[in-house]
């Protein structure tokens, strides 16, 4: 499990408008690039002083590459990061206000508490 890294991906994409568009247009390529180039950058350190050990599990990498927010929820991705980024990615494709958010809820309707643990 590398929930922290999944959250770091969601966090660093969500805060950058160019990366939001890049991840929307090319999810698989963006995930591969990000894991190779960005996953080990410590956000408050010079880029050379990076970590050496962070990588996704196969399930995490595939869920991110497939825009599969149900799988990401089930893997314990942070619910707020997940919702915020996926609204940015897909709300625009729906005519009615909040229609994407309601579909997101409906696709998780097989879940009751306790939900997957989001602790990192």
Q: Where on the chain is the footprint of other proteins (CB under 8 A)?
A: 4, 7-8, 11, 14-15, 17, 42-44, 73, 78-84, 87-88, 98, 101-102, 104-106, 108-115, 118-120
- Residue ranges of alpha helices (H) inside 1-120 are 3-14, 17-25, 27-37, 58-65, 69-74, 79-90, 99-107
Q: Give CA–CA dist 4/77, Å, rounded.
A: 8
Pick 55 or 102: Cβ nearer other proteins: 102
Query: Least Å distance between CB 28 and other proteins?
Result: 23
Pick 32 or 87: Cβ nearer other proteins: 87
């Amino acid at each position: 499990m590398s929930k922290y890294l999944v959250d770091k991906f969601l966090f660093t994409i969500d805060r950058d408008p160019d990366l939001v568009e890049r991840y929307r247009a090319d999810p698989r390529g963006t995930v591969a690039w990000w894991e190779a180039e960005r996953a080990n950058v410590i956000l408050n350190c010079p880029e050379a002083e990076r970590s050496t050990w962070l990588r996704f599990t196969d399930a995490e990498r595939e869920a991110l590459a497939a825009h599969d927010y149900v799988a990401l929820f089930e893997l314990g991705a942070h619910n707020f990061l997940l919702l915020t980024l996926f609204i940015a990615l897909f709300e625009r494709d729906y005519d009615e206000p909040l229609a994407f958010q309601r579909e997101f809820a409906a696709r998780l309707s097989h879940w009751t508490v306790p939900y997957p643990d989001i602790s990192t």
